[in-house]
Structure 1
Amino acid sequence: LAQFEINLHHVRLPFIDTVDKAHQAVRQINHTAEVEGKRPIVFTTLANEAVHQVITEGCKGMLLDMFGTFVNPLEDEFGIKSNHRIGRFSDVSKSQAYHDRIEAINFSLAHDDGQSNKDLESSDIILVGVSRSGKTPTSLYLAMQYGLKASNYPLIPEDFERKTLPPALVPHKAKIFGLTINPERLSEIRNERRPNSKYASLENCRMEVAEAEAMMRRAGIRWLSTTTKSIEEIATTILQEIRPERLSY
């Protein structure tokens, strides 16, 4: 849907796992069609055949069956039938990968914004950059999406005076990736937090960004600008550059 420049109203109907709930969903979808005068676009991921039949036969929306589109061809390719079991994602919470992900999230929260130097060697990735350059959301995304232990450190005026990375980070240089940002955009973001402060002034932002980028160049650290990139794009670039051992490629 991101490929279409139109405004859509999203409605989620989770846990439609009984025939009664399916009939309720059909009534809601059909009511929307009557009120709006347009067919709703309905995406389904229904494993229960009886529930799926109610939706298919009664729904007046444009129905896009995600299971039928993807699972059926995979069944043909693998030569076996899928389980069609409801609630398979609940099994994830029992897996080691799930527990590793929770551990990574806790680690990233504990090592956010340079809060702790403890156990830094356990970091899969260490992000550095000026304050408000996107380090925290990127760290948490890497933890939640990939189960990676991501630390992040702000580069501050004291670091610029020394013209070196924070001493605690030097032994882990191979894991470090830098984030920078356009000074004008940085000033806008900081003004939302601390309006009309030196911290948010364009002059200060220009100075910090220039010093941070110069430091990263001197240290030979890989870095990118987050100004026009989404969290997903930033994370993908970081993974291509750092290639943590925890991930399989």
Structure 2
Amino acid sequence: MRRIIVSALAAAVALSTAGLAVAKLNASGVSAATATFSAAKERSETRTCTADGKTYEITSGRYVGAIDFADPNSALDGPLAIKVRAVVNKTDGIGWIEGSFRGRDDARRTHARFWGALDGSGNLDGFLQGRANERDAFLLGSLSATFTADGGFAGGRLGNGSTSLPAVLAGRPCKDSKPAGTAVRLSVKGEVTAIDASSITVKPRDGSAEQTCKIVSPTSPSTAGIAVGSKVEIRCALVGTDMTLVKLEKKS
């Protein structure tokens, strides 16, 4: 497998090991800033594949929560949305993650990109680069948390993390293989007629037969806010022998 060096990950680990704090650049210069955050799964899709005798777990998803900056930067506190792509070598217990990071949705908003290394327990050690306060301030520094595809981000810290993971040499996982169980797919737009913790049933708006898909963690997205009568679009994929919910979008 052809490999490439993910230089951002190496830089992230080197900087966080050195104890770099997040820095805020403003009209008066540069000052330290720290924050804590957490985010739960809103939706995600996880697949697995194998190559060279190793099993890989690949996750794409969106996670929402809140961020809390320490004084004097508490004006940046607020809701948080994180979009990620993560690849973990489950056999060796190491991986990487990258994504976008957006706090608030007004003149004080923060938006950034981050890159990091993961271990087999979901510990994240990385680096964040972005802007805050209507782009008046740079936001740079270390990022750490515990991440799982189903649980999201817990114990997140900017500028004051304590983890220290090795740099990661990363290439394309499972280059010559296809993910198992995703060849058959189903897409339905319509009204929910039944839903519980294990399945969802939707009546297509064209009047055709109802379609039922299983809800399986961590593959399926959250069904929070969805009830009988909700207008939705669902996508399901054949995982093993079951049609499994992999995408859910509420329609007005």
User: Which structure has the higher relative contact order (CA within 8 Å, separation 6+)?
Assistant: 2
Q: TM-score, normalised by structure 1?
A: 0.20
Q: TM-score, normalised by structure 2?
A: 0.20
Greater gyration radius: 1
From the two aligned structures, give the one with the greater helix fraction. 1
From the two aligned structures, give the one with the greater strand fraction. 2
